[in-house]
Amino acid sequence: MKNLSIIGSTGSVGAQAVQLAEGRGHRVVAMACGKNIDLAEKQVRTVRPEYFAMMDEKAAVELKNRVADLDCVVEGGREAVLRASSYERADMVLNAATGIAGLRPTIAALNSCKALALANKESLVCAGNIVMKLAEEKKIPILPVDSEHSAIFQCLRAGNEREVDCLILTASGGPFFGWNKERLASVKAADALKHPTWKMGGKITVDSATMMNKGFEVMEAAWLFGVPSDRIDVVVHRESIVHSAVKFVDGSIIAQMGNADMRLPIQYAVDFPERHENPFETLDIFSLSNLSFYRPDRENFPCLPLCEEASRRGGNMGAVINGANEIAVAAFLEGKIGFLDIYDIVENVTGRVAFVPNPSLDDIFESDGEARALASSLI
């Protein structure tokens, strides 16, 4: 049994992690979220953590009043979230925060020498150089929770680093697989939110539709596994059964398969290095009739090559793309811009923010702020 701190506990991955930890007998001692008071209260009453942090200070005051009958310390603000991320009695931090807001909790967890189960891809997209260096210095394992990176992490156990030819990241292709730019020009937010296989939040669902999310995953994989982006292949796999694979130098391809269920990679990260039986339905291989694989359409979905180029350049480019993309996606969801405008805005911003080859943490947040301001000016 482990003592866990779960950051982003009211989001999709975080909420599943809370439920899974409870079912597996792990103790959730600390939690943090943004401002979802109703779900936060339900989690406090169900899980009974020792500490609960909310980024929104007003929401924290209300939650504190609601759970005054329980023995749980409730605090608000960024410092409170960082206290949850480095909670003394936690053995592991599971960071499922959304966006660049998850970067500081990642660093706090590593600085406190906690094992880190990472679902916040922006930590590596924006500051992979800082995060991986810190993890190495502290000798702290980063256990990936994204289904694709969990799959690669598992497949890499079949060989050593010198035997790896390339990594293979699978992508569902989103709701617009096979569409050209003429059709994509008329896409509305409601269309982009209809993901064919996964149930996710609005932001990441739109990122999946533009394939920006897969581009971010290329950047994340390059940092996590020390493999340059030109040795990371993306393949569109509509069925979302093969979650990713590794090709070795002898031509062997080792793949990880399973249902489209985030509880599997969450459980693998939390229980690592052990495996345990799952309390949920697993893949029945006899139910499979067809598995399809296609090359990604980089012409009609240019966010993917934009991220691949950013991965090759390194520096602050990940922070720039992520910041601009967060602003553009929010504007698209609000109906202020079109689907294709997301790429146009992000690409425009990447050419206007100064390149910083070896950024500090301050440089990362400065680049993020500049990118957001520029993106906002283009809407």
Domain ranges for the chain? 3-144, 149-313, 314-379
Which amino acid, residue 276?
H
- Quote the pTM value: 0.94
* Sequence-ordered alpha helix ranges (H) in the chain: 12-24, 37-47, 57-66, 78-85, 103-111, 122-138, 147-155, 181-184, 189-192, 202-210, 212-225, 263-271, 303-313, 317-333, 339-350, 361-377
> For the segment 54-96, what is each residue's pLDDT rounded down to a tens digit?
999 999 999 999 999 999 999 999 999 999 999 999 999 999 9
- Per residue in 274-289, pLDDT tens? 998 888 889 999 999 8
Judge whether 3-144 and 314-379 match in fold.
Answer: no
Distance CA 136, CA 270 (A): 20
Give every residue of the chain whose pLDDT is below 70, as ranges: 196-200
Domain 3-144 sits in CATH 3.40.50.720: yes
Q: Which CATH architecture has domain 314-379?
A: Orthogonal Bundle (1.10)
What's the chain's Rg over C-alpha atoms? 20
The answer to whether 267 and 251 are in contact (CB under 8 A) is no
Tokens found for residue 160: 């050593």
Supply the pLDDT for residue 200. 66
At 261, list the tokens: 């269920």
Q: Which two tokens stand for residue 237?
A: 């796999």
